[in-house]
Amino acid sequence: MANIFDGYKAISSDSFLKNHWQQLPVVLRELVPVNELEITADELAGLSLEEDVESRIVVNDGDDYVLHNGPFDESIFETLGDGRWSLLVQAVDLWNQSIHELMNRFSFVPNWRRDDVMISFSTEGAHVGPHYDHYDVFLIQASGKRTWKTGGSCNRDTERDTNCESLDLILDEDFDQAHTLLPGDVLYVPPGVRHWGITDEAGMTISIGFRAPSAAELLSLLAKEVEDEYSEDLRFSDAKRSAAASSGELAHEDVVRAQTLMRSIIDNDQQFAAWFGALMTEPKYDELLPYNDRIDPELEGLTSVSLVRDPCTRCAYYRSDDALVWLINGEIYHFEPQSSQATIAKRLSDHVINDFNSISELADDTSREWLDNLLEDGSFYVHE
């Protein structure tokens, strides 16, 4: 599937990554062919009625915000009427094939970095307030018109707006740029950059977000994995130490010994890659596995028989000299580098759709059993 920047003359994916990714906001005019997207406001509203779909409605009441959490009853939209309100639906890529394919076109960033696709519908004048995110986001105008303000960087010390604490909003200040988006236009916003979108004409905005774990999350993961995998025998050691000059001092050399103990765990690249990869491939909505006709299986690129990755499935691989580590939905597998399983795992990670017969030809008895398990647990499915 083509990269979203392929054929785009204003900027290449390499230039974007070098000059903007994680650095500066940028408007990308007419980047996305929104006429190819098969999603309407009515379909979005329909998703918000479903028990398995995460959704919210934010109502603007003067300077205040009223937050409602889904699933909703259809009557709520009659009640809201022509007021200023926004409907936000998470993970639409799991329910709509054209949105799933759109997300896959952002392949210039590894798929383990992708989070999900949120789509919002908002009426004229509606907004969800000034805020910032901890992750990269592409804001795609699918229909209507919206003006986005952007400004400086924020952090946890940035002053908050207490009108709706559940939305974690910031005060309306330090915005120095405004960008009006029409259908097909995209605003990229790096982590920590304040932004605020106000709807000029009722329409939909598609938000493609990317995962960025915090240091606290990584340390928490590390603590759990060390507890599970390392023996109680691995401990702080101070053999051949010098006599203490002061019994109350924590000496520098003892701090170095403790750091060395921790580094001996972190510096194992293959082990750390397995832990990190397991975290980054944990499915956000694992309760939706296995495949259950959430989306229309008329997929672009299908052969007569195709092996298709379920939209909920996340997978990646890490290569070292003596193993290929495959990460799928938070699980860890170690394969011999030249094994058929390693070859197949790379293909399954790199491509959403694979020719089933080609994969079968690569398989030996061991990998066939492994493939059967992937089909049985719903991570992949066969489309004929």
| 292 or 218, greater pLDDT | 218
Task: Give the pLDDT of residue 295.
Answer: 53
Share of the chain above pLDDT 70, in %: 96
Residue (of 152, 154, 148) closest to 186 by Cα position: 148
Task: Give the pLDDT of residue 117.
Answer: 98
pLDDT digits (tens, 9 = 90+) for 25-79: 999 999 999 998 999 999 999 999 999 999 999 999 888 999 999 999 999 999 9
Task: Give the pLDDT of residue 289.
Answer: 66
State the span(s) of the chain assigned CATH 2.60.120.650.
13-210
Listed range (29-38, 222-231, 304-313) with the worst mean pLDDT: 222-231
Alpha-carbon distance 122 to 184, whole Å?
17
- Architecture per CATH, domain 13-210, reads as Sandwich (2.60)
Instruction: Please check the confidence at residue 184 and state whether its pLDDT lies above 90.
Output: yes
Instruction: Please check the confidence at residue 291 and state whether its pLDDT lies above 90.
Output: no
Instruction: With cut-offs at 50, 70 and 90, classify the pLDDT of residue 369.
Output: very high
Mean pLDDT score, 90-104: 95
Task: Give the pLDDT of residue 302.
Answer: 53
Instruction: Please check the confidence at residue 298 and state whether its pLDDT lies above 70.
Output: no
What does CATH list as the number for 286-383? 3.40.366.30
Instruction: With cut-offs at 50, 70 and 90, classify the pLDDT of residue 293.
Output: low
Task: Give the pLDDT of residue 2.
Answer: 83
Task: Give the pLDDT of residue 155.
Answer: 92
State the span(s) of the chain assigned CATH 3.40.366.30.
286-383
Task: Give the pLDDT of residue 162.
Answer: 82
Share of the chain above pLDDT 90, in %: 78
pLDDT digits (tens, 9 = 90+) for 233-250: 889 999 999 999 999 999
Instruction: Please check the confidence at residue 89 and state whether its pLDDT lies above 80.
Output: yes
Task: Give the pLDDT of residue 58.
Answer: 97
